[in-house]
């Protein structure tokens, strides 16, 4: 079973990664097909993950896009039916491979994912701090990707993780709700990981308030009942709003020279702040550092949380569903990737259009497969030979490759074949060869036949017109972009 699974670990290069890799190297049982480490640092020295005992390792880099983007690149890099996500600060049990194998084996087709079990060790001999208690909540959380295996097909069907969630918060719950919305079930397995409490500074509770904006996005996407379905309690947000309102009222009334009313509002603010501080202090240690931190942050958190809620309301006022990236982008050759020299059979005349190499590399860097579908009727007309077409395709590969799939049609318009665009044959065949649902494929070309072939195959067509593109084709195209780079921009932003 594990031969059908790839382990994906997004990382920002924390020392805990070495602990994780040591545990995976020493684990008992069969090994997965591969281990993909996604380096999510904007820059830095290469990772050195090689250890005896690890599965085959591949390292890919995002350039710093956040955990959602990193996980997306990881699963797109893999080709196995199952993807097992681990965070870079967890420690799998020695029998984790064996238990993962047992958890995934013989699952019915409607099961889209399997969550592992999490333990969070807390300090002995003293009460846990506020941060430690918060981390301990991971042990009972639902659908967290600290250890969660998904069917690759389930990820592809919903476009993977929503990259509008910029931090490690709510992106896993959002994915779970979307997967379950397609009819897939998520189950809990019997494998275990340990999630140590990460060392942090005293102001971490202020930084995590940014997650309130992500909660607004969750509501926009999944409706007011999302918390029940995601097992995500509301917490203290209404009280934070009330405390913040009391504080603002006190300031406003004081400015209006209404001292008695201002004093009452200030008393309400002080009482609410004190209650919040005590709720955090009572279960924790009573040393001076913790008491000082709790007092200061308890005064700052209510207005900060409220600010992030308001920021989320503005930022996510639309909340359109996430489509993610397509699994495959197919390009027409002549007039789209290279300058169009009619019936070209000379590799020396294969000349990329401006920005073609950069556009293709941007797609590859995000884990999107790329290919070519090209009509070559010059073969049927006797103007060029099949050998010349292959030589030009080889030159294209040298200049702009590698391509995951290349298909070309040697027939003429009168031959009635099913492959010549606007027929869908080449698009369908390319999707079948790579195991891609045509609905997750985009076809980019410079004439109406490219768009029509995409539509007929169930894919999405994007027209990038040139001076020879007919006006009627431009007017009829459901999607168009001024340049190849602009078309790729739209794809990478989910506008396809």
- SS3 at position 3: helix
All residues at 6 or more sequence positions from 481 whose CB lies less than 8 Å from its CB, including other chains: 462, 463, 464, 487, 489, 490
E-strand ranges in 55-146 read 57-61, 82-86, 91-92, 111-119
Q: From CA 154, how far away is CA 440, in angstroms rounded?
A: 12
Q: Is 325:159 a contact under the CB 8 Å cutoff?
A: yes
Contact between residue 328 and residue 369 where contact means Cβ atoms under 8 Å apart: yes
Compute the radius of gyration of the chain from its Cα atoms. Answer: 27
**Distant-in-sequence, close-in-space partners of 359: CB < 8 Å, separation ≥ 6:** 484, 485, 487, 488
Q: Which of 89, 147, 332, 450 is catalytic?
A: 332
394 classed as catalytic: no
CA–CA gap between residue 186 and residue 114 (Å, rounded): 6
Bridge partners (DSSP) of residue 179 are none
* Distance (Å, whole) CA 410 – CA 155: 36
The answer to whether the beta carbons of residues 80 and 33 sit under 8 Å apart is: yes
Q: How many CA atoms does the CB half-sphere of 133 hold within 13 Å? A: 13
90 Cβ neighbours under 8 A, 6+ residues apart: 20, 118, 146, 147, 193, 194, 195, 196
E-strand ranges in 210-277 read none
Q: Which pairs from 416-422 meet CB under 8 Å and 24+ separation?
A: 420/375, 420/377, 421/332, 421/373, 421/375, 421/445, 421/449, 421/450, 421/452, 421/453, 422/448, 422/449, 422/450, 422/452, 422/453, 422/456
Q: Which helix (H) or strand (E) covers residue 394, if one does?
A: helix 386-400
Pair type for strands 57-61 and 82-86: unpaired
As beta bridge partners, residue 91 has: 194
**Please, what sign has the CA dihedral across residues 472, 477, 478, 481?**
negative
DSSP state of 91: E
Write the DSSP symbol of residue 460.
E
Is residue 490 flagged as an active site residue?
no
Which of 103, 91, 197 shows the shortest CA–CA distance to 150?
Answer: 103
> Which is the catalytic residue, given 87, 89, 215, 334?
334
**E strand or H helix that includes residue 329:** strand 328-331
List active site positions.
Answer: 332, 334
């Amino acid at each position: 079973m594990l031969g059908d699974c790839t382990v994906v670990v997004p990382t920002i290069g924390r020392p805990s990664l070495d602990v994780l890799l040591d545990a995976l190297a020493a684990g008992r049982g069969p090994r997965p097909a591969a281990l993909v480490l996604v380096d999510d640092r904007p820059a830095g020295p290469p990772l050195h993950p090689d250890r005896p005992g690890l599965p085959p390792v591949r390292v890919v880099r995002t350039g710093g896009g956040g955990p959602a983007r990193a996980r997306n690149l990881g699963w797109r890099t893999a080709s196995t039916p199952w993807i097992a996500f681990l965070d870079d600060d967890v420690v799998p049990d020695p029998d984790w491979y064996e238990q993962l194998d047992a958890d995934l084996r013989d699952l019915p087709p409607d099961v889209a994912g399997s969550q592992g079990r999490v333990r969070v060790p807390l300090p002995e001999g003293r009460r846990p701090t506020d941060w430690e208690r918060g981390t301990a909540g991971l042990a009972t959380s639902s659908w967290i990707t600290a250890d969660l295996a998904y069917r690759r097909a389930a990820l592809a069907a919903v476009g993977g993780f929503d990259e509008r969630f910029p931090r490690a918060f709510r992106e896993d719950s959002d994915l779970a709700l979307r997967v379950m919305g397609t009819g897939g079930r998520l189950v809990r397995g019997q494998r275990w990981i340990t999630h140590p409490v990460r060392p942090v500074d005293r102001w971490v509770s202020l930084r995590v308030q940014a997650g309130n904006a992500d909660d607004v996005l969750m509501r926009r996407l999944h409706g007011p009942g999302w918390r029940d379905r995601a097992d995500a309690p509301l917490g203290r947000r209404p009280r934070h709003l009330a405390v913040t309102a009391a504080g603002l009222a006190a300031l406003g009334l004081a400015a209006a020279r209404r001292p008695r009313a201002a004093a009452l509002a200030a008393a309400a603010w002080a009482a609410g702040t004190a209650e919040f501080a005590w709720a955090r202090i009572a279960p924790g240690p009573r040393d001076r550092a913790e008491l000082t931190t709790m007092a200061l942050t308890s005064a700052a958190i209510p207005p900060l949380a409220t600010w992030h809620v308001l920021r989320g309301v503005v930022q996510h006022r639309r909340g359109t569903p996430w489509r993610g990236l397509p699994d495959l982008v197919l390009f027409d050759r002549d007039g789209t990737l290279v300058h169009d020299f009619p019936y070209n059979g000379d590799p020396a005349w294969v000349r990329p259009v401006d920005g073609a190499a950069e556009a293709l590399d941007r797609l590859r860097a995000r884990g999107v497969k790329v290919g070519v579908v090209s009509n070559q009727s010059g073969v049927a007309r006797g103007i060029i030979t099949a050998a010349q077409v292959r030589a030009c395709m080889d030159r294209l590969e040298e200049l702009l490759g590698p391509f995951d799939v290349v298909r070309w049609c040697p027939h003429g318009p009168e031959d009635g074949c099913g492959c010549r665009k606007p027929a869908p044959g080449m698009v369908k065949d390319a999707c079948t060869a790579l195991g891609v649902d045509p609905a997750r494929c985009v076809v980019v070309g410079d004439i109406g036949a490219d768009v029509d072939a995409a539509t007929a195959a169930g894919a999405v067509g994007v027209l990038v017109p040139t001076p020879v593109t007919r006006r009627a084709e431009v007017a009829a195209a459901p999607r168009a972009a001024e340049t190849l780079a602009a078309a790729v921009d739209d794809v990478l932003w989910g506008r396809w």
